[in-house]
Amino acid sequence: MVATSVDYQARIPNNVGLSSDRRLQRALERWLPNYIDWWRTMGPEGFQEDSIYLRTAVSVEKSGWAHFDYVKMPDYRWGIFLNPTEEDRKIGFGDHYGKNAWDQVPGEYRNALRRIVVTQADTEPASVEQQRLLGKTAPSLYDLRNLFQINVEEGRHLWAMVYLLHSYFGRDGREEAEELLERRSGNPDKPRILNVFNEPIDDWLSFFCFAMFTDRDGKYQLGALAESAFTPLAATTRFMLTEEAHHLFVGQTGVERVIQRSCELMKGDIDYDVTNDGAIPLGIIQRYINRWYSLSLDLFGSEVSSNGATFFANSLKGRFQEQRRWDDHVGLEGSKMMSVVRDGAVATEEVPLRNAMNEVLRDEYIADCETALRSWNRTCKKAGLAFEFTLPDRKFHRHQGEYAGHFFNPAGELIDEATFAASQSEWLGSDEDRSYVKSVMVQVTEPGQFANWIAPPRRGINGNPVEYKYVQFDGHTRD
The residues that touch ligand BYC, with contacts defined as CB under 6 A, are 116, 119-120, 123-124, 127, 154, 194-195, 214-215, 217-218, 221, 298-302, 305, 307-308, 317, 358, 400-401
Instruction: Please identify, using beta-carbon distances, which residue of 55 and 261 lies nearer to ligand BYC.
Output: 55
Quote the least distance from Cβ 306 to ligand BYC, whole Å: 7
Quote the least distance from Cβ 152 to ligand BYC, whole Å: 12
Q: What angle do CA 435, 437, 439 make, to 5 degrees?
A: 65
Instruction: Please identify, using beta-carbon distances, which residue of 80 and 385 lies nearer to ligand BYC.
Output: 80
Instruction: Please identify, using beta-carbon distances, which residue of 212 and 279 lies nearer to ligand BYC.
Output: 212
CA 113 to chain centre: 20
Quote the least distance from Cβ 423 to ligand BYC, whole Å: 24
- Count other C-beta atoms under 10 Å from residue 282's C-beta: 21
Angle between helix axes 231-266 and 215-225 (nearest 10 degrees) is 160
Quote the least distance from Cβ 103 to ligand BYC, whole Å: 21
Alpha helices (H) in 383-479, listed in sequence order: 417-428, 431-439
Instruction: Please identify, using beta-carbon distances, which residue of 183 and 261 lies nearer to ligand BYC.
Output: 183
**For residues 119 and 311, is the Cβ–Cβ distance under 8 A?**
no
Instruction: Please identify, using beta-carbon distances, which residue of 154 and 433 lies nearer to ligand BYC.
Output: 154
Instruction: Please identify, using beta-carbon distances, which residue of 10 and 341 lies nearer to ligand BYC.
Output: 341
Instruction: Please identify, using beta-carbon distances, which residue of 248 and 279 lies nearer to ligand BYC.
Output: 248
Q: What is the DSSP letter of 90?
A: B
Cα 323 to Cα 315: distance, rounded to the nearest angstrom = 13
Cα 118 to Cα 182: distance, rounded to the nearest angstrom = 13
- How far apart, in Å, do the first and last CA atoms of the chain sit? 48
Quote the least distance from Cβ 84 to ligand BYC, whole Å: 22
Instruction: Please identify, using beta-carbon distances, which residue of 106 and 278 lies nearer to ligand BYC.
Output: 106
| β-pair type (345-352, 51-57) | unpaired
Quote the least distance from Cβ 106 to ligand BYC, whole Å: 18
Instruction: Please identify, using beta-carbon distances, which residue of 307 and 339 lies nearer to ligand BYC.
Output: 307
Contacts of 163 (CB under 8 A, 6+ apart): 14, 16, 28, 80, 236
- Residue 304 DSSP SS3: coil
**For residues 197 and 51, is the Cβ–Cβ distance under 8 A?**
no
Quote the least distance from Cβ 418 to ligand BYC, whole Å: 26
- Residue 68 DSSP SS3: strand
Quote the least distance from Cβ 308 to ligand BYC, whole Å: 4
Burial 386-407 (b: 16+ CB within 10 A, else e): ebebebbbbbbbbebbbbeebb
Quote the least distance from Cβ 172 to ligand BYC, whole Å: 16
Quote the least distance from Cβ 128 to ligand BYC, whole Å: 8
Nearest position to ligand BYC, beta carbon: 301
Instruction: Please identify, using beta-carbon distances, which residue of 131 and 286 lies nearer to ligand BYC.
Output: 131
Burial 297-327 (b: 16+ CB within 10 A, else e): bbbbbbbbbebbbbbbbbbbbbbbebeeebe
| β-pair type (66-72, 335-342) | unpaired
Instruction: Please identify, using beta-carbon distances, which residue of 19 and 119 lies nearer to ligand BYC.
Output: 119
Quote the least distance from Cβ 169 to ligand BYC, whole Å: 15
CA distances to 58, 177, 193, 214, 449 from 187, rounded to whole Å, are: 35, 18, 11, 20, 36
Instruction: Please identify, using beta-carbon distances, which residue of 172 and 474 lies nearer to ligand BYC.
Output: 172
Q: What is the DSSP letter of 411?
A: T
Quote the least distance from Cβ 244 to ligand BYC, whole Å: 8
CA distances to 69, 70, 246, 465, 466 from 462, rounded to whole Å, are: 10, 13, 12, 9, 10
**For residues 259 and 30, is the Cβ–Cβ distance under 8 A?**
no
Length of the chain: 479
